[in-house]
Chain A
Amino acid sequence: MSRCDFKVVLLGSEHVGKTSLVLRFVSCRFNADIPYQNTVGAAFCAKTMQSNGKDFNVGIWDTAGSERYEAMTKIYYRGAHAAIICYEPSSAASWTRLRHWLQELRGIEENCKVYLCGTKKDLLDNGFVAREVPEDTVAAYSQGLCGHYLTSSKTGENVDELFQKIVDDCAADVRLMKDVEDMRLQLQKDEAAYKAKNKDYCYC
């Protein structure tokens, strides 16, 4: 079945490494050399993950990062459960675009959980590139968000952690919703029972 429990949207400017992130995440199921779904592409990926012993099918929506399609990203994150906004710590430009999405998400999809994800950690660790986005700025921004991760698609560092966190959060949400729904149903039942009971007496 191509149906998914959660919809996770990947946002981020071009060449920031969104597709690599998805590939890294999904292909750990397979041999890393074989691209997921062989030739079909990595635009949409689905993976089954566990949270609290329950299986959830996570659908990951890759988006086109090019600026000319910026106006259309709204269409993508409609109804998303979670969004990952990627940026490159060594590129200030990617960070400025991130702020744009952050604002949009806050305005349009309030229920969507937002995660920040700094990519290409291995380059940063090895000193090939210099950090351009100051850490305290990132920390300040990630205050109101669900999480911030620095990942490396090359080594796989933090990738699984990021997605696991997302699934856990979403699953908790689902549980909460279900509890509320159950309680509501119970209340309805009680009320109906009460009414039915009262009906017996009231023939006026």
Chain B
Amino acid sequence: MWFGPNLQRSYKYMMFASKMPSLRIDQSDLKCKNGCDYFGNPQWQGYCSKCHREQMQRQRKAEKESSATLPKPEQKKPERGLRIPSHSSFSKFEEKRLRQSETLKKANLLKFSVFKKSSTDDHDHSAEKRPPEFKIPGIVNEGMKRDFRTRFPQLGPAVDRDSRLFVHSFIMDVIKCANVLSVDELSERVQRQYQRFMKHMDTSSHFANVEADTKELLMDFVEKHAMTYLHELPSVVFSPSGTDDERLDRAMSERIQQLSWVGERHLECKLDRNNPDCRQLLYKAISELLGMDSALSPGDKLSRVRRCCRHVLRLCSAAPASADDLLPALIFTVLKANPPRLVSNINFVTRFCNAQRLMTGEGGYYFTNLCCAVSFIENLTAESLNMDKKEFDCYMAMPASIGGSAWAAALSLCGAVREADEQRAHAQKLLTHTHNIHTRAEQLAANAQSFEEQIAKKVQDVLTKTPLEIKPRRELPRLGNLKEINTAPLIDLGTTTAQEEPQTKPEVTPEPLAATLLPTESTEPNITIQPETEPKLNILGFEVIERQSPSKSPQNLDQTWDLKQTSSLELLTPSPLGFTPFDSRSIDELMTPDEFGTDQLPPGLSNINYDIDLSDFSGDNSIAEEAPKSEPKDPFSPEALRKITTFDPFAPQTSKGFETALDSFDEFSFVDQRKQETDPFEVVHRGQDPFSPVELSKDPFFAPEKQSTSILDDNDTPATACLLPSPIQPQSSNKPT
């Protein structure tokens, strides 16, 4: 009776104390949990050191016993979140434990534990000992920037910045929380971060005009970069320190090794070991599955799984393979692949992949299948294989190396085949490459060859062309001389060696020289080269240059054209236009001088001529300028054109008819030529000759000129006018008059 209320009160008090441990700490709370009189320590889960050690030993023993089957993951959970890095004795203990369990990962944890933030009350003490704030290396940000630009070139810098900032804060948040929260809490936090970003994208003005699909890609981008970085940090997200993912990995690997005798017939999946295609597909699936471990972000891991399952589906012989075929084949693949760190990988994806994607979508489906396969392998018994228990035990007791050797051999064969294929492809590539190089080299050699020939030919051309204007010009040609000129070449040709003689007319000498020069050098090389080079012109694109050479120097052209006229008074028929291309002209002329003096001029002499020629150019020009005063011989040089405009007699000639022209000109040669060439043009545009009554009656002086200008409209520009050698040119230039 007397103790009743008292007891009740004390009981209430106890209840209260246990419920609200906050401010007041009873001494009993500090004692060891086991009830021995020593004080306990939160780092030792509330035990005293001795009791804790015993407890740990008991636990380890239990662990060893249960390692054959899969142990439960809860064993180590209570420890986490209680460690304090500054506590030296504890960390020593931690190290000892590490060595015992022989895990490298956990050693990394210690290194990493500098970032730990303790959740306990002595936060204040450890504050000053804590290292400076953790920084994400700049390279991560740089990589993100680059990746963003390549992936979303259409998005603006604001979006880019937002995403990168979010990834940054995301990583920092996870690192900060990693030591405080348990894995499940951390995973939940990560999921909330994903949702936060989604919400941010929905609400922020920066993302206002981003499409939904792009938003999802952005989500992937964020997930990928955040998780890729975090994945590399030891024991934060990948097989985190609080879980025993690693031990499970090893157990799983051992288990799969033990089950290596399980063949396709046990799983009732239809695989054909003898079919090379089938082997190849299986090999591909396995290599994808193995690749899952090396992929860093959950999205990449998922896509690996998806590709693996695609191969597996193709492996199933039935055309539209259903889940009934997929699962056994996948189980078989996992058994044959024995992927490293399988459990860690699966847990990593389930915890930190964006849940929205994991739950739905194709990748999620295949991943679920993989989870099923793993859980099937974990719980594999004789019944699940429809086998006798005794037989199953027999197989299980057998050393792992014996079973499943046939498939192992087939798969290694596959690997070899694939390697050989790769090598062969590589060799093929190299072969084509060398072939390419070879053809290129040949082409280059041909180029060089033809280039050389071209150059030689060009030099020769120049050489043959240049002596034309060389020495002669000391005297100015006069109207009266022209007739002499016409006859002169024949005389001169005989006396080519005596070129210095002042009597020879300037325009005469070059012609024979050209004639003489050409044969000397071209007898042997030129004739042989020409047929070769002409087809090659197209290949090399040299033809442009070839054409330029005659038109390059209008003065030159004029000169030759003049010469042509004078000399061809006798040979008008072969080249009536006087505008034959350079080569043909030279060939034409070859005919006449061929008889004489192939040996007369040695090549050395021509070189000397060439040198002199350059200096003579000015003299040439001066002659061209002066010449028209007496006669409007060359209508193409700009000076001549100008002069013609002032020089009247031509205009009336053409418009009135050529009888008058003939009358007015003693140089019938010119008129004659002009008449010949104007004919075709007139035929084109107007019915007939200038003397036809219709035209005469219809047109005053200017009308026909206008017509002619309209035809020649294209050539109105002075440059083309200069180049056009047709005698019609003067007409157009007459227009202003």
A residues lining the B interface (CB < 8 Å): 1-7, 14, 18-19, 23, 35-36, 39-44, 46, 59, 61-66, 68-69, 71-72, 75-76, 78-79
Question: In the assembly, what is the distance between CA of A123 and CA of B165, in Å?
Answer: 62
Which chain B residue has the least Cβ–Cβ distance from A63?
Answer: B323
5 pairs, CB–CB < 8 Å, chain A vs chain B: A2-B363, A39-B314, A41-B320, A42-B320, A65-B323
Q: Is the CB of A41 within 8 A of B326?
A: yes
Whether A64 lies near B360 (C-beta < 8 A) is: no
A66 cross-chain contacts in B, Cβ below 8 A? 324
B314-334 interface (Cβ within 8 A of A): 314, 316, 319-328
Contact across chains for A40 and B314 when beta carbons are under 8 A apart: yes
Contact with A along B528-548 (1 / 0, CB 8 A): 000000000000000000000
Chain B positions 271-324 with a Cβ under 8 Å from a chain A Cβ: 306, 309-310, 313-314, 316, 319-324
A3 to B365, CA, bound (A): 11
Q: What is the minimal beta-carbon distance from B272 to any residue of chain A, in angstroms? A: 16
B361 touches A69 (CB 8 A): no
User: With contacts A41-B322, A43-B326 known, is A59 near B365, CB below 8 A?
Assistant: yes
Known: A2-B362, A23-B320, A72-B372. 19 other contacts (CB 8 A): A1-B213, A2-B363, A3-B361, A4-B360, A4-B361, A7-B359, A7-B360, A40-B313, A42-B320, A42-B321, A43-B365, A46-B362, A62-B322, A71-B375, A71-B379, A75-B368, A75-B371, A78-B359, A78-B368
Give complex CA distance A62, B323 in Å.
6
Complexed CA–CA distance, A61 and B369 (Å): 10
B691 at the A/B interface (Cβ < 8 Å)? no
Residues of B within 8 A of A72 (CB): 372, 375-376
Q: Tell me, in angstroms, the Cα distance from A78 to B364 when the chains sit together.
A: 11
Closest 6 CB pairs of A and B: A41-B321, A19-B322, A41-B313, A62-B323, A35-B320, A4-B360
Asked if A59 and B361 sit within 8 Å, CB to CB, the answer is yes
B197 is an interface residue with CB less than 8 A from chain A? no
Which has the most chain B C-beta neighbours within 10 Å: A19, A35, A43, A66?
A43
Check if B366 is an interface residue, CB within 8 A of chain A.
yes
Contact of B365 among A19, A35, A40, A61 (CB under 8 A): A61
CB distance from B60 to the nearest CB of A (A): 30
> Separation in Å of the A178 CB from the closest CB of chain B?
12
Q: Could you say which residues of chain B place their CB within 8 Å of the CB of A75? A: 368, 371-372, 375
Which chain B residue has the least Cβ–Cβ distance from A59? B360
B359 CB to nearest chain A CB (Å): 4
With a cutoff of 8 Å between Cβ atoms, the chain B residues found around residue A6 in the complex are: 360
CB atoms of B319 and A35 under 8 A apart: yes
* Identity of the chain A residue whose Cβ is nearest the Cβ of B217 in the assembled complex: A1
Q: Which residues of A contact B306 (CB under 8 A)?
A: 2
Find residues 629-663 in chain B having any chain A CB closer than 8 Å to their own CB.
Answer: none
Distance in angstroms from B271 CB to nearest chain A CB is: 15
Chain A residue numbers with a CB within 8 Å of B216 are 1, 3
Task: Report chain B residues within 8 Å CB of A68.
Answer: 383-384, 386
Does B686 have its Cβ within 8 Å of any Cβ on chain A? no
Contact of A3 among B309, B357, B371, B386 (CB under 8 A): B357
Interface pair B362/A59, CB less than 8 Å apart: yes
Residues of A within 8 A of B322 (CB): 18-19, 41-43, 62
Q: In whole angstroms, how far apart are the Cα atoms of A11 and B360 in the complex?
A: 17
- Report the count of interface residues on B (CB-CB < 8 A): 39
- Most A CB contacts (10 A, CB to CB) among B310, B326, B362 go to B362
Query: A76 and B360: CB pair below 8 A?
Result: no
- The reply to whether B376 and A69 contact each other, CB–CB distance below 8 Å, is yes
B binding-site residues for A, Cβ under 8 Å: 213, 216, 306, 309-310, 313-314, 316, 319-328, 355-357, 359-366, 368-369, 371-372, 375-376, 379, 383-384, 386
A18, A40, A71, A78: most-surrounded residue (chain B CB, <10 A): A40
Q: Which residues of B contact A79 (CB under 8 A)?
A: 355, 359-360
Tell me the interface secondary structure of chain A in the complex: loop
Chain A positions within 8 Å of B376 at CB level:
69, 72
Query: Once bound together, how far apart are the Cα atoms of A18 and B324, in whole Å?
Result: 10
On chain A, the residues within 8 Å of B309 by CB distance are: 43
The interface residues of chain B lying within 8 Å CB-to-CB of A40 are 310, 313-314
Q: Beyond A19-B322, A72-B375, is A61–B368 a contact (Cβ under 8 Å)?
A: yes
Measured CB to CB, the closest approach of chain A to B196, in angstroms, equals 15
B288 CB, nearest partner CB in chain A, Å: 14
| A161-B369 Cα distance, complex, nearest whole Å | 28
Cα–Cα, bound, A1→B326 (Å): 23
**Roughly how many angstroms separate A79 CA and B356 CA in the complex, as a whole number?**
10
Is A19 a contact partner of B360 (Cβ separation < 8 A)? Answer: no
B365 to chain A, nearest CB (A): 4
CB distance from B330 to the nearest CB of A (A): 10
The residue of chain A having its C-beta at the shortest distance from the C-beta of B331 within the complex is A69
A36 to B362, CA, bound (A): 14
Q: How far does the alpha carbon of A179 sit from the alpha carbon of B379 in the complex, in Å?
A: 45
CA distance A59 to B717 in the complex (A): 74
A44 touches B360 (CB 8 A): no
Q: How far is the CA of A42 from the CA of B383 in the complex (A)?
A: 28
Question: Which residues of B sit under 8 angstroms from A4, Cβ to Cβ?
Answer: 360-361
Chain A residue at minimal CB-CB distance from B203: A185
Q: How far is the CB of B184 from chain A (nearest CB, A)?
A: 15
Q: Which residues of B contact A78 (CB under 8 A)?
A: 359, 368
| Residue in A5, A6, A42, A59 whose Cβ sees the most chain B Cβ within 10 Å | A42
Asked if residues A76 and B372 are in contact (CB atoms below 8 Å), the reply is yes
Given A61-B368, A64-B326, verify A44-B375 contact (CB < 8 Å).
no
Q: CB-CB < 8 A to A14: which residues of B?
A: 324
Inter-chain contacts of B310 with A (CB < 8 A): 40
Give the distance in Å from the alpha carbon of A78 to the alpha carbon of B112 in the complex: 35
Task: State the Cβ distance, A76 to closest chain B Cβ, in Å.
Answer: 6
- Whether A44 contacts B321 in the complex (CB less than 8 A), given A72-B375, A75-B375, comes out as no
**CB atoms of A64 and B324 under 8 A apart:** yes
CA distance A116 to B322 in the complex (A): 20
Q: When the two chains form their complex, are residues B314 and A76 in contact, meaning their CB atoms are under 8 A apart? A: no
Q: Find the B residue at minimum CB distance from A67.
A: B384
Q: Which B residues are CB-close (under 8 A) to A63? A: 323
A23 to B318, CA, bound (A): 14
Question: What residues of chain A lie closer than 8 Å to B356, measured between beta carbons?
Answer: 3
Closest A residue by C-beta to B311: A40
CA gap between A5 and B216 in the complex, in Å: 13
A19 touches B372 (CB 8 A): no
In the complex, the answer to whether A64 meets B327 with C-beta atoms within 8 Å is yes
> Complex Cα distance A79/B357, Å?
11
User: Residue on B with the closest CB to A58?
Assistant: B360
Contacts of B359 in A (CB 8 A): 7, 78-79
B314 to chain A, nearest CB (A): 6
* Distance (whole angstroms) from the CB of A54 to the closest CB of chain B: 12
Nearest B-chain residue to A8, judged by Cβ = B360
In the complex, what's the smallest C-beta–C-beta distance from B249 to chain A, in angstroms? 19
Residue in A5, A19, A68, A78 with the greatest tally of chain B CB atoms within 10 Å: A68
Q: Which of A69, A71, A78 has the most CB of B within 10 A?
A: A69
Contacts of A3 in B (CB 8 A): 216, 356-357, 360-361
A39 CB, min distance to chain B CBs, angstroms: 6
